[in-house]
Structure 1
Amino acid sequence: MTDVEPHDVPDEAVAMLQEYLEDEHTFLSWLGFTVEEFEAGRMVGTIPFDEKLTNPTEPPTVQGGVASTLIDVVGGIALRPYLADPVEDDLATINLTVNYLRPATGDLTATAEVVRAGNSVGVSAVEVESATPAGETALVAVGQGAFRLFRS
Structure 2
Amino acid sequence: MTESYDQIHAVLQGYIDENHEFLSWLGATVESVDDGRMTMAIPYDEKLTNTRPSNGDRRPDIHGGVAATLIDTVGGIVFHTDFDDPIDAGAATINLNVNYLRPATGDLEATARIIRAGSSVGVSEIMVESTTPDGETREVATGQGSYRLFRSARD
Q: How many residues align?
A: 146
Q: Does 1:19 align with 2:52?
A: no
CA distance in 1, matches of 2:121, 2:111: 20
Q: Give the match's secondary structure for 1:12.
A: helix
Q: Give the match's secondary structure for 2:93.
A: strand
Q: Give the match's secondary structure for 1:97.
A: strand
Instruction: Identify the range of structure 1 (84-93 vs 56-65) with the bigger mean alpha-carbon deviation.
Output: 84-93
| Map of 1:74 onto structure 2 | 74
| 1:101-135 CA distance string (max 9 Å, x none) | 00001000000010110111101100000011322
CA distance in 2, matches of 1:89, 1:133: 39
% identical equivalent positions: 59
The TM-score, its normalising length taken from structure 2, stands at 0.88
CA distance in 1, matches of 2:119, 2:14: 29
C-alpha spacing 1:8/1:141, structure 2 compared with 1 (3 Å)? farther
CA shift for structure 1 position 12: 2.9
User: 2:3, 2:85 within 8 Å by CA — same for their partners in 1?
Assistant: no
User: 1:83, 1:149 within 8 Å by CA — same for their partners in 2?
Assistant: no
Q: Does 1:56 align with 2:44?
A: no
Structure 2: stretches of 5+ with no match in the other structure = none
CA distance in 2, matches of 1:121, 1:84: 15
Structure 1: stretches of 5+ with no match in the other structure = 1-6
Instruction: Identify the range of structure 1 (81-90 vs 47-56) with the bigger mean alpha-carbon deviation.
Output: 81-90
CA shift for structure 1 position 84: 4.4
CA shift for structure 1 position 16: 2.4
CA distance in 1, matches of 2:8, 2:90: 17
Q: Does 1:86 align with 2:86?
A: yes
User: 2:2, 2:84 within 8 Å by CA — same for their partners in 1?
Assistant: no
